[in-house]
Amino acid sequence: MPAGIAIAIVEHTRPSVAGQIVHILQQAMPDAPWLPEATILMLDQARYLGALRGESLCGVLALSALDEGRQVVSSFAVLPVWQRQGIGQMLLEAAIGLAGQEALLLAVQASNGGALTLYRRVGFTEHGRFVDETHGEAMIRLWRPAAQSI
Protein backbone atom coordinates (compact mmCIF):
# COMPACT_ATOMS: atom_id res chain seq x y z
CA MET A 1 0.00 0.00 0.00
CA PRO A 2 1.39 3.42 -0.87
CA ALA A 3 2.57 5.63 1.96
CA GLY A 4 0.81 8.93 2.48
CA ILE A 5 -2.61 7.78 1.23
CA ALA A 6 -5.60 8.19 3.53
CA ILE A 7 -9.12 6.89 2.91
CA ALA A 8 -11.94 9.17 4.07
CA ILE A 9 -15.53 10.08 3.31
CA VAL A 10 -15.38 13.13 1.03
CA GLU A 11 -17.91 15.91 0.61
CA HIS A 12 -18.89 15.37 -3.02
CA THR A 13 -21.46 18.18 -2.72
CA ARG A 14 -18.63 20.73 -2.71
CA PRO A 15 -17.91 21.92 -6.26
CA SER A 16 -14.13 21.51 -5.91
CA VAL A 17 -14.47 17.92 -4.67
CA ALA A 18 -17.09 17.05 -7.31
CA GLY A 19 -14.73 18.40 -9.95
CA GLN A 20 -11.88 16.20 -8.68
CA ILE A 21 -14.14 13.13 -8.66
CA VAL A 22 -15.27 13.74 -12.26
CA HIS A 23 -11.61 14.26 -13.28
CA ILE A 24 -10.64 10.89 -11.77
CA LEU A 25 -13.53 9.12 -13.50
CA GLN A 26 -12.67 10.73 -16.85
CA GLN A 27 -8.97 9.84 -16.55
CA ALA A 28 -9.58 6.26 -15.42
CA MET A 29 -12.41 5.57 -17.90
CA PRO A 30 -11.96 7.94 -20.86
CA ASP A 31 -14.26 5.94 -23.15
CA ALA A 32 -17.13 5.59 -20.67
CA PRO A 33 -20.17 7.45 -22.02
CA TRP A 34 -22.06 7.35 -18.71
CA LEU A 35 -19.75 9.56 -16.63
CA PRO A 36 -21.55 12.24 -14.61
CA GLU A 37 -20.97 15.94 -14.80
CA ALA A 38 -19.86 17.64 -11.59
CA THR A 39 -23.20 19.43 -11.19
CA ILE A 40 -25.10 16.13 -11.35
CA LEU A 41 -22.62 14.40 -9.06
CA MET A 42 -23.17 17.03 -6.38
CA LEU A 43 -26.82 15.92 -6.09
CA ASP A 44 -25.98 12.24 -5.65
CA GLN A 45 -27.21 10.72 -2.37
CA ALA A 46 -24.32 8.23 -2.20
CA ARG A 47 -21.50 8.33 0.31
CA TYR A 48 -18.23 8.95 -1.49
CA LEU A 49 -14.97 7.52 -0.23
CA GLY A 50 -11.82 9.20 -1.43
CA ALA A 51 -8.21 8.11 -1.49
CA LEU A 52 -6.42 11.28 -0.49
CA ARG A 53 -2.82 12.27 -0.87
CA GLY A 54 -2.76 15.51 1.04
CA GLU A 55 -5.69 17.55 -0.25
CA SER A 56 -5.82 15.81 -3.64
CA LEU A 57 -7.99 12.86 -4.54
CA CYS A 58 -6.27 10.02 -6.38
CA GLY A 59 -9.14 7.52 -6.15
CA VAL A 60 -12.86 7.45 -5.45
CA LEU A 61 -15.70 5.03 -4.72
CA ALA A 62 -19.43 5.68 -4.20
CA LEU A 63 -21.55 3.59 -1.85
CA SER A 64 -25.36 3.81 -2.13
CA ALA A 65 -28.18 2.09 -0.26
CA LEU A 66 -30.15 -0.16 -2.62
CA ASP A 67 -32.67 -1.66 -0.23
CA GLU A 68 -32.64 -3.13 3.24
CA GLY A 69 -29.50 -5.19 3.64
CA ARG A 70 -27.81 -4.26 0.34
CA GLN A 71 -25.60 -1.45 -0.90
CA VAL A 72 -24.24 -0.72 -4.37
CA VAL A 73 -20.64 0.19 -5.21
CA SER A 74 -20.35 2.60 -8.15
CA SER A 75 -18.18 5.40 -9.55
CA PHE A 76 -15.11 3.41 -8.50
CA ALA A 77 -11.89 4.62 -10.10
CA VAL A 78 -8.24 5.37 -9.39
CA LEU A 79 -6.16 7.81 -11.40
CA PRO A 80 -4.05 5.83 -13.90
CA VAL A 81 -0.75 6.98 -12.37
CA TRP A 82 -1.88 5.51 -9.01
CA GLN A 83 -3.33 2.24 -10.31
CA ARG A 84 -1.91 -1.16 -9.29
CA GLN A 85 -0.52 0.24 -6.03
CA GLY A 86 -3.21 -1.02 -3.66
CA ILE A 87 -5.40 2.10 -3.59
CA GLY A 88 -8.38 0.36 -5.15
CA GLN A 89 -8.18 -2.40 -2.56
CA MET A 90 -7.94 0.21 0.22
CA LEU A 91 -11.11 1.88 -1.08
CA LEU A 92 -12.98 -1.43 -1.35
CA GLU A 93 -11.93 -2.49 2.15
CA ALA A 94 -13.16 0.84 3.52
CA ALA A 95 -16.49 0.37 1.68
CA ILE A 96 -16.80 -3.14 3.12
CA GLY A 97 -16.25 -1.68 6.58
CA LEU A 98 -18.87 1.03 6.02
CA ALA A 99 -21.39 -1.48 4.70
CA GLY A 100 -21.12 -3.42 7.94
CA GLN A 101 -23.86 -6.04 8.03
CA GLU A 102 -25.07 -5.29 4.48
CA ALA A 103 -24.19 -7.10 1.27
CA LEU A 104 -22.41 -5.19 -1.50
CA LEU A 105 -23.32 -5.34 -5.18
CA LEU A 106 -21.65 -3.90 -8.25
CA ALA A 107 -21.45 -4.30 -12.01
CA VAL A 108 -18.25 -4.32 -14.02
CA GLN A 109 -17.43 -4.52 -17.70
CA ALA A 110 -16.71 -8.16 -18.57
CA SER A 111 -13.56 -7.03 -20.39
CA ASN A 112 -12.06 -5.42 -17.26
CA GLY A 113 -9.91 -8.32 -16.06
CA GLY A 114 -7.92 -6.25 -13.58
CA ALA A 115 -11.05 -5.07 -11.79
CA LEU A 116 -12.51 -8.59 -11.72
CA THR A 117 -9.34 -9.91 -10.08
CA LEU A 118 -9.47 -7.17 -7.45
CA TYR A 119 -13.15 -7.74 -6.70
CA ARG A 120 -12.62 -11.48 -6.30
CA ARG A 121 -9.63 -10.87 -4.03
CA VAL A 122 -11.85 -9.02 -1.53
CA GLY A 123 -14.65 -11.59 -1.60
CA PHE A 124 -16.98 -10.66 -4.47
CA THR A 125 -18.45 -13.49 -6.54
CA GLU A 126 -20.26 -13.51 -9.87
CA HIS A 127 -24.01 -13.10 -9.63
CA GLY A 128 -24.98 -13.00 -13.30
CA ARG A 129 -24.19 -11.43 -16.64
CA PHE A 130 -26.06 -8.95 -18.80
CA VAL A 131 -25.60 -6.54 -21.67
CA ASP A 132 -25.90 -2.86 -20.82
CA GLU A 133 -28.52 -1.99 -23.42
CA THR A 134 -27.68 1.70 -23.41
CA HIS A 135 -24.01 1.20 -24.26
CA GLY A 136 -23.90 -2.35 -25.63
CA GLU A 137 -21.32 -3.43 -23.02
CA ALA A 138 -21.10 -7.00 -21.72
CA MET A 139 -21.31 -6.67 -17.94
CA ILE A 140 -20.90 -8.93 -14.91
CA ARG A 141 -22.88 -8.51 -11.69
CA LEU A 142 -20.88 -9.25 -8.57
CA TRP A 143 -21.89 -9.40 -4.94
CA ARG A 144 -20.22 -9.81 -1.59
CA PRO A 145 -22.26 -11.15 1.31
CA ALA A 146 -22.42 -9.21 4.56
CA ALA A 147 -20.09 -9.88 7.48
CA GLN A 148 -17.51 -11.80 5.49
CA SER A 149 -13.91 -11.21 6.50
CA ILE A 150 -11.33 -10.38 3.87
pLDDT (tens digit per residue) in 70-88: 999 999 999 999 999 999 9
Residue 109 included in any domain:
yes
Residue 43: what residue type?
L
pLDDT of residue 2: 76
The dihedral region occupied by 41, where left means phi > 0, alpha psi between -120 and 50, and beta the remainder, is alpha
1 found inside a domain = no
Average pLDDT over residues 49-70: 92
Query: 92: domain CATH number?
Result: 3.40.630.30
Does the pLDDT at position 44 exceed 90?
no
Q: Is residue 149 part of a domain?
A: no
**Do the domain assignments include residue 123?**
yes
- For the sheet with 6-10, list strands across it: 6-10, 47-53, 56-67, 70-78, 103-109, 137-144, 125-132
Backbone φ, ψ for residue 32 (5° rounding): -80, 115
The model's pTM is 0.86
Structural domain containing residue 15: 6-144
Domain count, the chain: 1
Domain-embedded: residue 150: no
The pLDDT tens digits for 120-139 are 999 999 999 999 887 788 99
